[in-house]
């Protein structure tokens, strides 16, 4: 089974059938269920802190043999800028974690539809309301890096960015969404009960 943990509560699904419900939270899943998550924000914060420290060390090393009033001021200004960028980066990640109410951001294919959990959006889009899933692009036609657009039968297109981590994941999302949508529309395993279960888990309405 490709899905190892529940897409909603991370319960270990080892040993369970490919099409089943999570014993912990009741979330339905099948062999086409996948979950894509961005890199852990705390890991990015740690990386940012490490990067700023390296910048500071490099500044000190570069100016150690050229200590004058001018170089000292320049080094101090550069260090202040680096620390300022660090504070902004950490603040953005903390806001992101807080606004997601502790639940990880993700994109998932499920028997009910596409689960989209972003900072300001937590919604389940039933397969009957999905027109297509395509690569993200700007109005100019330029492709967005690691992004997808979810075109809906009714309602605005939903753009999912900063969740997928590679072009391979973009291709996988599009392919699995097409297969799951085809299965649902031709009388596959998707059911109204599955949609209602997921819809009840998506507590935040679209904004």
Q: Are 34 and 160 in contact (CB under 8 A)?
A: no
Shared domain check, 131 and 150: yes
Instruction: Return the structure tokens found at 139.
Output: 């109005």
Last residue of a domain, one of 99, 118, 134: 99
Shared domain check, 90 and 24: no
Q: pLDDT class for 134, splitting at 50, 70, 90?
A: very high
Q: pLDDT class for 130, splitting at 50, 70, 90?
A: very high
Shared domain check, 91 and 150: no
Sign of CA dihedral 142, 148, 151, 156: negative
Shared domain check, 190 and 141: yes
What pLDDT is attached to residue 177? 93
Judged against a pLDDT cut of 50, whether residue 198 lies above it is answered with: no
Helices (H), 100-166: none
Residue 3 lies in a domain: no
> Has this prediction a pTM greater than 0.75?
no
* Total structural domains within the chain: 2
Which structural domain range is residue 150 located in?
A: 20-38+105-201
| 45 compared with 126, residue with greater pLDDT | 126
The mean-pLDDT minimum among 47-56, 119-128, 130-139 falls in 47-56
Judged against a pLDDT cut of 60, whether residue 117 lies above it is answered with: yes
Instruction: Return the structure tokens found at 130.
Output: 């999905």
pLDDT in tens, 61-83: 665 655 566 666 776 777 777 77
Q: pLDDT class for 197, splitting at 50, 70, 90?
A: very low
Judged against a pLDDT cut of 80, whether residue 96 lies above it is answered with: no
Backbone angles phi, psi at 116, to 5 degrees: -120, 115
What pLDDT is attached to residue 203? 40
User: Percent of the chain beyond pLDDT 70?
Assistant: 61
Q: pLDDT class for 201, splitting at 50, 70, 90?
A: very low
Adjacent-strand bridge partners of 36: 107
Shared domain check, 157 and 59: no
Residue 206 lies in a domain: no
pLDDT in tens, 13-39: 888 888 888 898 888 888 888 888 886
What pLDDT is attached to residue 43? 53
Judged against a pLDDT cut of 90, whether residue 151 lies above it is answered with: yes
Shared domain check, 178 and 158: yes
pLDDT in tens, 162-194: 889 899 999 999 999 999 999 888 876 544 444
Residue 8 lies in a domain: no
Shared domain check, 172 and 80: no
The enclosing domain of 122 has a CATH number of 2.30.29.30
Question: Which strands form 143-152's sheet, in the order they lie side by side?
Answer: 130-137, 143-152, 158-160
Shared domain check, 67 and 139: no
What pLDDT is attached to residue 45? 57
Residue 24 lies in a domain: yes
């Amino acid at each position: 089974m490709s899905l190892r943990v529940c897409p909603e509560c991370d319960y270990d699904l080892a040993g369970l059938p490919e099409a089943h419900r999570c014993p912990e939270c009741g979330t339905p899943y099948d062999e086409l269920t996948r979950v894509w998550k961005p890199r852990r924000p705390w890991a990015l914060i740690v990386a940012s802190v490490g990067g700023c420290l390296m910048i500071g060390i490099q500044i000190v090393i570069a100016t150690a043999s050229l200590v004058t009033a001018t170089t000292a001021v320049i080094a101090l200004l550069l260090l202040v800028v680096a620390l300022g960028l660090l504070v902004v980066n950490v603040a953005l990640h903390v806001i992101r974690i807080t606004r997601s109410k502790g639940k990880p951001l993700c994109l998932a294919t499920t028997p009910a539809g596409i689960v989209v959990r972003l900072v300001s959006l937590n919604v389940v889009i039933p397969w009957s309301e999905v027109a297509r899933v395509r690569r993200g692009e700007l109005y100019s036609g330029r492709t967005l890096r690691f992004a997808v657009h979810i075109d809906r039968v009714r309602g605005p297109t939903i753009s999912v960015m900063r969740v997928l981590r590679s072009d391979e994941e973009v291709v996988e999302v599009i392919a699995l969404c097409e297969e799951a949508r085809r299965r649902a529309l031709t009388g596959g395993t998707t059911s109204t009960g599955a949609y209602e279960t997921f819809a009840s888990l998506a507590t935040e309405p679209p904004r």
